Structure 1
Amino acid sequence: MELSNQFWSASLEEMKRGFLEEKDSFVCLMCGESIEKGMVYPYEDKFYLAEKFIRVHIEQTHISVFDYLIGMDKKLTGLTDHQKRLLSLFYQGKNDKEVQEELDIGSASTIRHHRFALKEKERQAKTFLTMMELLKEKDENAPTFVPVHQTATMVDERYNITQDEQDKILKKYFSDGILTKFPPKEKQRLVILREISKQLKENDHYDEKELNQLLKSMYNDYVLIRRYLIEYGFLDRKPDGSKYWVKK
């Protein structure tokens, strides 16, 4: 979750391959897994150098970069559910007739129309991205926004938070790492929950008692915090509530 800055600032080529190359490691953009350079990694009776192994990690953990991106909230992708379904079928290599039959809509020419509409969306995205890159060079007054965490369940005005706003909220509601009050406003709650989630280890699974104890050390009403961490997409759990983990 804390890789949002890296995720959103990555180049198109970095996004396509799904990882960043740093001085001493390769880092997965989707979950933050870091693969140290100079090491050999075993997997299924084979041994891999770091760059190859980060690709193995992406395949085993996320299936593919495409699958990860297509599963993101539509506010982050700009795609409708129907468009996501079409893109998924195209990505699988299906032709227009096969897509038409699987979706049971119109005809092959209908699918070609959808392809054209998606290409138009691509052209618009390139134009907009270029304008935004040019704007960065001129807009000296633009505030620094806190990135949306990648597992957000719903992206709306709550996420319109600048770095200055976040700092003020944390200072107001935290004292020596303890939450003094759970704020009434949605935007403030998001900042608080993001801060609390940083205390959870990304690769650990917690049973309910362990999680409750950890959350209680930060705020007395741990049940409330636990519920909101799940609601905002910071935590996931088994249906029976026996295990909780940081959502990736």
Structure 2
Amino acid sequence: MEVNENFLDASMEEMKKGYVEEKECYQCLLCGEKVEKGLIYPENNVLYESERFMKLHIEKQHNSVFDHLIGLNKKLTGLTDHQNSLLQLFYEGRSDLEIQKELEIGSASTIRNHRFVLKEKERQAKIFLTMMELLKEKDRHAPNFLPIHKNATMVDDRYNITADEQAEVEKKFFPEGISGRMIKFPKKEKQKLATLRVIIKQFDKEKQYSEKEINEILKSIYDDHVTLRRYLVEYGFLDRKDDGSAYWVKG
């Protein structure tokens, strides 16, 4: 799953809530799920109005906005594995002494120093975000980069692709349209990624597939279904059980 583009365009307050209010619905910024306004939704013999049901959706499907975000690839969050662990423990309300024992590092004062470093990172982020907002008002030549999908692996220059470049790849390798067959699998890594973005759309995010079902769908797109399946897994678009008995869109 890609990081929802609406999330990146949302305000800080909307990001913290995890959803936005639209004219006729509430939309989850984490997965795109929509809840229509004016309806009552039943859940475990309890009736919820639409906005409360959206909050319940986030709790059930994502646990919390924080848990969703901290689970993103560190290339997206900019956090080291160590910082990620610390933030998780801070969020759980652990004391510095408890964290020191949990991670078996330094002393409680060491954890305090880590808190200070993270606070500095927060200040730097605020300044940087302000600069970028001001830049948007002046920069008329900024390319429209595509968002990196949530479970992306090996995040590097291959993800440096714009909407126009994606459209060019689609036209070249899917001449009959993105619902048609692919004429060949590209050799360039950036183009491979672009074609995989198209192929993953043929799968239902809510369904679990057998290997046979995966192969049948991929064969309808390209003869070398084994290569497509391997790259979909390697790039973090698909996940599977260790024995290959089940596949699903990685969310």
TM-score by length of 2: 0.94
Give the superposition deviation at 1:193.
0.2
Aligned partner letter, 2:225? Y
Q: 2:151 & 2:27 partners in 1: Cα distance? A: 18
- State the Cα deviation string for residues 89-114 of structure 1 (Å, max 9, x = none): 11011111111111111111111111
Deviating more after overlay: 238-247 vs 48-57: 238-247
Q: Does structure 2 conserve the Cα–Cα contact (< 8 Å) formed by 1:151 and 1:247?
A: yes
Give the superposition deviation at 1:117.
0.3
- The residue aligned with 1:203 is 206
Q: Percent same amino acid among aligned pairs? A: 62
Aligned partner letter, 1:120? E
TM-score by length of 1: 0.95
Q: Does structure 1 conserve the Cα–Cα contact (< 8 Å) formed by 2:238 and 2:250?
A: yes
Q: 1:148 & 1:90 partners in 2: Cα distance? A: 27
Aligned partner letter, 1:134? L
- State the Cα deviation string for residues 15-36 of structure 1 (Å, max 9, x = none): 1111122222222222222222
- The residue aligned with 2:25 is 25
Give the superposition deviation at 1:58.
1.2
- State the Cα deviation string for residues 138-167 of structure 1 (Å, max 9, x = none): 011111111111221232111000122111
Cα RMSD after superposing both structures: 1.4
- The residue aligned with 1:228 is 231
Alignment of 1:175-194 (within 5 A): 175-176=175-176, 177-194=180-197
Q: Does structure 2 conserve the Cα–Cα contact (< 8 Å) formed by 1:3 and 1:32?
A: no
Give the superposition deviation at 1:2.
5.7
The secondary structure found in structure 1 opposite 2:137 is helix
Runs of 4+ in 1 over 6 A off after TM superposition: none
Contiguous gaps of at least 5 residues in structure 1: none
Number of aligned residue pairs: 248
Give the superposition deviation at 1:87.
0.6
Contiguous gaps of at least 5 residues in structure 2: none
Closer, same or farther: CA 131–167 of 1 in aligned 2, 3 Å: same
- The residue aligned with 1:16 is 16
